[in-house]
Amino acid sequence: MPLPVVDDQDGEDLTELEFQTKSLEGEFIDFMVDEFGQLWRRDYTYALIDVGEPILKYRLRRHDADWLPHNITKRIVFYGKPYEHWFAFSIMVSKGKVKECKLISKQ
């Protein structure tokens, strides 16, 4: 499901950009909506690596994992500044599928 057209005069293409949200659980977790409107979550695994330094004994290393369907039902607000403007969108997700997407603001 594409994002709504925001302003043809600006010519800003938002299809491949990253946005952020505080509407979903967890920090630094990747979410994606595909072209069919399915919400996906990328689950990672973590491991402690011994770096052997006196001050910083261990480092947390993240290992990539698969994209899994994220079958939630809720309204999600996401925002970002891909170019010259801040954009905010609201999407309604039902059982992991985007049912509605609208532009909230462009500043």
pLDDT in tens, 40-72: 998 888 888 888 777 777 787 888 788 999 999
**pLDDT at residue 61, as a whole number:** 83
**pLDDT at residue 52, as a whole number:** 78
- Look at residues 21, 30, 35, 14 and name the one whose alpha carbon lies nearest to residue 82: 14
**What pTM was computed for the model?**
0.70
